[in-house]
């Protein structure tokens, strides 16, 4: 027992048939899951947004955001290899700090994953609608967007969520194998972008390198500019590796596979992002694609590769669902573990004996995410995903340092190098990025967690496994 409530055992829970997940994933599946989650709408859209805020210095913004996320990834890797349980930051906080903080982190992760899945589904719907228009099959506006977009319901977004949920219900290994193939296609498209733009590289496009400076400053439009301002936005493009840590009970060899999956996917994506951003800036002046909704496709058209731009857009339609799959997978595993701990209704944690999938929670999560994508305005709530993720990353950095002190002799299949420094970078870096989020986002985040604490004290606390 701690000040923040009962602590969870560091050992894996009893492997009863009703709540036992199947160990079917190797490290290649986990790397693909991480890359699939990270490489998505962020690199396809935020390159332009970041360039508008930082100019060519957006490359540094990618590096800084990646460094903060890399510190968090190292902390995740140590804890995922050490604690053989699903649940990600929720479980690590439960083990290290206590049930109340774990609930706050889990509640924040529910917000993060739900909003990300819905946001990406709506983004995918835009690509899909444009693709269908291109081949002469126009989707009526009333069915291609929610009320905030002038429609009635975003049917393509609902459809892609249903497809992804169906894949997850078939089985974890089967959906992970398909995900790996789609991730390979997505990486091939980015490699094609580099190959096409590299011959047009002009170093003059990098001058001035930081036209708005390094630290944040208000620009003439009243918005925050600078390398750090862009980093706080670009952060959205990097997280997703935390979804890998939710698969700890489904990894064949957690001590090895989780480390490779988390760290490997994070390092691969930092290299991919910086390489793609450098090629985009080198090929055309930043002003040409800053604030574009499709910056990479615009760059391809600008250098005279309209056909390649069409291929790139088609690949986005096919491959973007890997982001939805990774986050929907993570969301269901968070719900599953919280239900097994009886902080949520226990029946949600029951696993199908053949597929090894928590069926009820997968279907329920898909319905909630589909409703958000179909009807609700996402522009104002999308930034809440950043807030929820930053909360989880701070908790993981702190949990690693706490367990290093409390359990110094515990076997660790992976030990984070320079743990005090890495933990401090993860905690302070994420707090700084949280501080730089829009004020409205911060207010909504605390309001969401205020609601969560009401649910916890009114329902969950007296029903948890710790009480039973």
Strand bridging mode 224-225 / 217-218: antiparallel
What pTM did the predictor assign? 0.81
Total Cβ atoms within 10 A of residue 70: 22
Place of tokens 């060899």: 253
Q: Give the list of residues 6+ apart from residue 1 with CB closer than 8 angstroms, or none.
A: 7, 98
d(CA 94, CA 109): 14
Phi, psi dihedrals of residue 154, rounded to the nearest 5°: -90, 85
Look up residue 263 and give its two tokens: 């760290």
Look up residue 381 and give its two tokens: 């709530």
Query: Which element (helix H / strand E) includes 225?
Result: strand 224-225
Total Cβ atoms within 10 A of residue 450: 9
CB 396 within 8 A of CB 74: no
Chain length of the chain: 468
The predicted pLDDT at position 18 comes to 52
Place of tokens 């002003």: 287
Q: Domain 23-463 belongs to what topology?
A: Amino acid/polyamine transporter I (1.20.1740)
The predicted pLDDT at position 424 comes to 94
Whether omega before 401 lies within 30 degrees of 0, making that bond cis, reads: no
The predicted pLDDT at position 17 comes to 46
Sequential DSSP letters for 117-175: HHHHHHHHHHHHHHHHHHTT-PPPGGGBS-GGGTSS-BHHHHHHHHHHHHHHHH-HHHH
Give the residue among 82, 86, 91 at the shortest CA–CA distance from 7: 91
Look up residue 184 and give its two tokens: 């390979």
Over its C-alpha atoms, the chain yields an Rg (Å, rounded) of: 21
Give the residue among 90, 2, 164 at the shortest CA–CA distance from 339: 90
CB 343 within 8 A of CB 468: no
SS3 letters across 126-138 = HHHHHHHHHCCCC
CB 230 within 8 A of CB 54: yes
First to last CA, the chain: 14
CB 207 within 8 A of CB 8: no
Question: What average pLDDT values come out for the chain (468 residues) when binned by 10 residues?
Answer: 70 57 78 80 69 83 84 89 83 92 91 83 79 78 79 88 88 76 85 90 86 72 74 74 77 82 84 86 82 76 82 77 83 84 80 72 87 76 77 93 91 88 92 81 90 91 69
């Amino acid at each position: 027992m701690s000040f923040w409530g009962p602590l969870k055992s560091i050992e894996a829970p009893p492997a009863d048939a009703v709540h036992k997940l199947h160990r079917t994933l190797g490290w290649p599946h986990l790397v693909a899951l991480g890359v699939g989650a990270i490489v998505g709408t962020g690199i396809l859209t935020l390159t332009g947004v970041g360039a508008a805020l930082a100019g060519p210095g957006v490359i540094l913004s990618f590096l800084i955001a990646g460094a903060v996320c890399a510190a968090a990834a190292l902390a995740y890797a140590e804890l995922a290899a050490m604690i053989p349980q699903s649940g990600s930051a929720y479980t690590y906080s439960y083990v290290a700090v206590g049930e109340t903080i774990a609930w706050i982190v889990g509640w924040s992760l529910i917000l993060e994953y739900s909003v990300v899945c819905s946001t990406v589904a709506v983004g995918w719907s835009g690509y899909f609608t444009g693709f269908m228009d291109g081949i002469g099959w126009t989707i009526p506006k009333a069915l291609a967007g929610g009320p905030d977009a002038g429609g009635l319901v975003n049917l393509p977004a609902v459809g892609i969520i249903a497809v992804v949920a169906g894949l997850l219900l078939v089985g974890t290994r089967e959906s992970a194998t398909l995900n790996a193939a789609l991730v390979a296609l997505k990486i091939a498209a980015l490699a094609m972008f580099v190959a096409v733009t590299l011959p047009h590289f002009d170093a003059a496009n990098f001058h001035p390198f930081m036209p708005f400076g390094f630290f944040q400053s208000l620009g003439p439009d009243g918005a925050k500019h600078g390398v750090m301002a862009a980093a706080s936005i670009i952060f959205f493009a990097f997280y997703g590796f935390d979804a890998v840590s939710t698969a700890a009970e489904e990894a064949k060899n957690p001590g090895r596979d989780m480390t490779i999956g988390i760290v490997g996917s994070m390092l691969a994506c930092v290299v991919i992002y910086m390489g793609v951003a450098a090629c985009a800036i080198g090929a055309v002046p930043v002003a040409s694609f800053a604030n574009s909704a499709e910056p990479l496709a615009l760059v391809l058209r600008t250098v005279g590769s309209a056909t390649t731009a069409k291929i790139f857009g088609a690949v986005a339609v096919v491959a973007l669902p890997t982001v939805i799959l990774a986050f929907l997978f993570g969301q269901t595993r968070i719900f599953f573990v919280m239900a097994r701990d009886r902080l949520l209704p226990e029946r949600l944690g029951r696993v199908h004996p053949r597929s090894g999938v928590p069926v009820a929670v997968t279907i329920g999560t898909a319905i909630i995410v589909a409703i958000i994508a179909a009807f609700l305005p996402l522009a104002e709530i999308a930034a809440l995903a950043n807030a929820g993720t930053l909360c989880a990353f701070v908790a993981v950095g702190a949990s690693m340092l706490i367990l290093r002190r409390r359990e110094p002799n515990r076997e660790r299949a992976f030990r984070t190098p320079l743990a005090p420094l890495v933990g401090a970078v993860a905690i302070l870096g994420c707090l700084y990025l949280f501080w730089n989020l829009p004020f409205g986002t911060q207010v909504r985040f605390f309001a969401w967690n205020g609601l969560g604490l009401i649910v916890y004290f009114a329902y969950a606390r007296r029903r948890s496994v710790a009480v039973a």
